[in-house]
């Protein structure tokens, strides 16, 4: 199979534990693009948190794509145009604030170069700001302040609290919102139907690349859908076990240049990187992604 496009998660996949793209990984992905391939950076991060990595890999030069907010916003790096996006229904924000008011969690969305925070600032809020290279702006009245379009909100807190709120919010907003953990301490709140697989499916149709020619690499729960969807689904060795279970191939860890290892393997062993047991499941998932 001639793979023409690679969709990569960022944290725990593209970047190492220091949140950097190594020279070896950058050079390999640039080489992939020089040979005619395309790169999608698919992340739960906001656009501003992805842009520095897109610039390092030359996505503006080669015509790559940013898939931000877990697929809620897709940008053509060459033209800087938003190709499509989905926005949260604003009426849910006051309701969510009322639910979480007695929980030790922060809630944030994004405003310009800042993470806009309500309820509280905790260590996980500060981690989100550091990861994305953004400032923190706290507001006492988050529900009233957020009167502009947003692609997602994020809850941050201790894993046990996040698990409890995931259950509460996913039950209350079934059919309205997508509610899922991207990390044990991060709870993503996005419009219903937003996930990486569906956004990649839409993008591939727009640019005319078959699913079978797409690679997807990730390590987190929010990567499972695109790993199952892609022609070749790849999990990092540092991935959560359910992610590994969904993958066709497990590469080295993000601290061992796992993407480089994958791309080096493709030519000599491409026929061995695909397992047949997931093909039926992939066909079913692709059918469900049709828009």
Mean pLDDT calculated for residue range 51-78? 97
Given a cut of 50, whether residue 145 has pLDDT beyond it is: yes
Domains of the chain: 5-86+194-289 (3.40.50.1000), 92-191 (3.30.1240.10)
Mean pLDDT calculated for residue range 160-176? 97
pLDDT score recorded for residue 87: 95
- pLDDT tens-digit profile of 234-291? 999 999 899 999 999 999 999 999 999 999 998 644 444 554 445 555 555 555 554 4
209: three-class secondary structure by DSSP: coil
Q: Look up the pTM and report it.
A: 0.85
Tokens matching residue 230 = 């892609």
Mean pLDDT calculated for residue range 107-116? 96
Inter-residue contact 38 to 63 (CB < 8 Å): yes
- pLDDT tens-digit profile of 94-111? 999 999 999 999 999 999
Pick from 2-6, 231-235, 267-271: least confident: 267-271
Given a cut of 60, whether residue 131 has pLDDT beyond it is: yes
pLDDT score recorded for residue 280: 55
Average pLDDT of the chain to the nearest whole number: 92
Helix H or strand E encompassing 118: strand 114-118
The CA distances from residue 167 to 72, 174, 179, 180, 188, in Å, are: 22, 11, 9, 9, 12
The CA distances from residue 85 to 81, 117, 151, 242, in Å, are: 11, 22, 8, 28
Tell which residue, 150, 166, 161, 156, has the closest CA to residue 131: 156
Mean pLDDT calculated for residue range 67-93? 96
Tell which residue, 56, 34, 35, has the closest CA to residue 8: 56
Helices 258-269 and 23-34, axial angle in degrees (round to 10) = 40
Q: In what order do the strands lie in the sheet with 232-235?
A: 81-85, 73-76, 65-68, 38-42, 5-8, 214-218, 232-235, 249-250
84: three-class secondary structure by DSSP: strand
pLDDT score recorded for residue 282: 57
């Amino acid at each position: 199979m001639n793979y023409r496009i690679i969709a990569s998660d960022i944290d725990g996949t593209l970047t190492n534990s220091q949140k950097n793209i190594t020279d070896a990984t950058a050079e390999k992905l640039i080489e992939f693009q020089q040979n005619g391939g395309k790169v999608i950076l698919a992340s739960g991060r906001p656009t501003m948190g992805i842009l520095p990595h897109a610039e390092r890999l030359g996505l503006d030069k080669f015509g790559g794509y940013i898939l931000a907010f877990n697929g809620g916003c897709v940008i053509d790096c060459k033209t800087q145009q938003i190709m499509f996006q989905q926005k949260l229904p604003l009426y849910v924000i006051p309701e969510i604030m009322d639910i979480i008011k007695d929980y030790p969690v922060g809630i944030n969305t994004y405003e310009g170069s800042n993470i806009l925070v309500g309820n509280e600032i905790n260590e996980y809020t500060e981690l989100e700001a550091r990861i994305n290279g953004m400032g923190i702006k706290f507001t006492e009245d988050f529900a009233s302040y957020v009167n502009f379009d947003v692609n997602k909100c994020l809850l941050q807190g201790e894993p046990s609290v996040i698990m409890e709120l995931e259950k509460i919010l996913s039950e209350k907003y079934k059919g309205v919102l997508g509610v899922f953990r991207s990390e044990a301490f991060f709870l993503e709140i996005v419009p219903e139907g937003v996930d990486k697989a569906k956004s990649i499916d839409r993008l591939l149709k727009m640019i005319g690349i078959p699913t079978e020619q797409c690679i997807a690499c990730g390590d987190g729960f929010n990567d499972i859908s695109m790993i199952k969807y892609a022609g070749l689904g790849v999990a990092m060795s540092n991935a959560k076990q359910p992610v590994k279970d969904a993958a066709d191939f497990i590469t080295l860890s993000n601290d061992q240049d796992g993407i480089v290892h994958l791309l080096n393997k493709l030519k000599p062993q491409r026929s061995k990187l695909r397992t047949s047991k997931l093909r039926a499941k992939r066909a079913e998932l692709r059918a469900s992604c049709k828009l």
